């Protein structure tokens, strides 16, 4: 025999929320792995010019998400097992893990909100540096033009060309005259600044939505785990 009445209902509700939490951990892990290996971001963030790599802030965030997803799956399993076994020790450990995870998530959320534009700004600055070097190498008619090769990857990956509309038109004109070969073969005229901002901003919001959903689930789990733990302690069976 175990807990009875409302406490028994709480037990199964906690199991249900833990199962959802475990699934959410799997989803976050899957999304993080997708963000890490997405062709668009991978092509851009693995670029290198004169020993300088593309900004890695985005990858740092993704690696943190991978760790969080894996930990959530372990903690979710711990909570499910603790609820079914009605173990005060496991439930107490589960609650402590949730508090730590919740505190880390709040801290990460505050940091992310304060630096939400950092990733796109860093990548735009990197793009501008590459663009300027490519333009300089083209004007000097240098034999080897590594900056042009890096810039071409930007343009083909994002289907864009130039810093702004003006430089986009100018770059297309130099391509037509045969001075350069920088714009994508699709012939689009969208500037790369807006494309980069769109790419990383959309993915930052996706991470934020996932974190908000998980935070709500964690709050319910902390409440239910404590109620169940108190119910087990006060149960005459124990």
Identify which of 127, 177, 125, 169 has the alpha carbon closest to the alpha carbon of residue 152.
127
Nearest CA-CA partner of 73 in 16, 20, 26, 12: 26
Instruction: Give the whole-number percent of the chain exceeding pLDDT 70.
Output: 82
Per residue, the 3-state secondary structure of the chain, as one string, reads CCCCCHHHHHHHHHHHHHHHHHHHHHHHHHHHHHHHHCHHHHHHHCCEECCEECCCHHHHHHHHHHHHHHHHHHHHHHHHHHHHHCCHHHHHHHHHHHHHHHHHHHHHHHHHHHCCCHHHHHHHHHHHHHHHHHHHHHHCCCCCCHHHHHHHHHHHHHCCCCCCHHHHHHHHHHHHCCCCCCCCCCCCCCCHHHHHHHHHHHHHHHHHHHHHHHHHHHHHHHHHHHHHHHHHHHCCCC
Torsion of CA 160, 165, 166, 169, to 10 degrees: 50
Is residue 90 over pLDDT 50?
A: yes
Measure the CA–CA gap between 21 and 196, rounded to whole angstroms: 33
- Reported as a single tens digit per residue, the pLDDT across 68-81 is 888 888 888 888 88
Please give the structure tokens belonging to residue 26. 């799997």
* Per-residue model confidence as pLDDT tens digits over 204-221: 777 777 778 878 888 888
pLDDT band at 1; cut points 50, 70, 90 = very low
Q: Mean pLDDT, to the nearest integer, of 30-41?
A: 77
Report the distance separating Cα 227 and Cα 220, nearest Å. 11
What pLDDT sits at residue 41?
Answer: 66
CB 189 within 8 A of CB 217: no
31 pLDDT tier (thresholds 50, 70, 90): confident
The Cα–Cα gap between 9 and 171 comes to: 67
């Amino acid at each position: 025999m175990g807990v009875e009445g409302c406490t028994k209902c709480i037990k199964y509700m906690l199991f249900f929320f833990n199962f959802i939490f475990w699934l959410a951990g799997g989803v976050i892990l899957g999304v993080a792995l997708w963000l890490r290996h997405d062709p668009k971001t991978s092509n851009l963030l693995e670029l290198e010019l004169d020993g300088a790599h593309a900004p890695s802030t985005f990858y740092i965030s993704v690696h943190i998400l991978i760790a969080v997803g894996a930990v959530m799956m372990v903690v979710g399993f711990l909570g499910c097992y603790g609820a079914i076994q009605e173990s005060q020790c496991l439930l107490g450990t589960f609650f402590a893990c949730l508090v730590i995870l919740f505190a880390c998530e709040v801290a990460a959320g505050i940091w992310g909100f304060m630096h939400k534009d950092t990733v796109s700004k860093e990548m735009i600055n990197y793009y501008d540096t590459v663009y300027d070097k490519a333009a300089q190498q083209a004007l000097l008619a240098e034999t080897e033009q590594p900056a042009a090769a890096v810039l071409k990857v930007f343009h083909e990956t994002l289907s864009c060309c130039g810093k702004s509309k003006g430089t986009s038109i100018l770059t297309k004109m130099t391509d037509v005259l045969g001075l350069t070969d920088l714009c994508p073969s699709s012939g689009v005229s969208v500037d790369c600044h807006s494309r980069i901002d769109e790419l990383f901003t959309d993915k930052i919001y996706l991470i934020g939505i996932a974190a908000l959903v998980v935070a709500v689930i964690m709050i319910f789990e902390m409440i239910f785990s404590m109620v169940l733990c108190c119910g087990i302690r006060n149960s005459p069976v124990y």
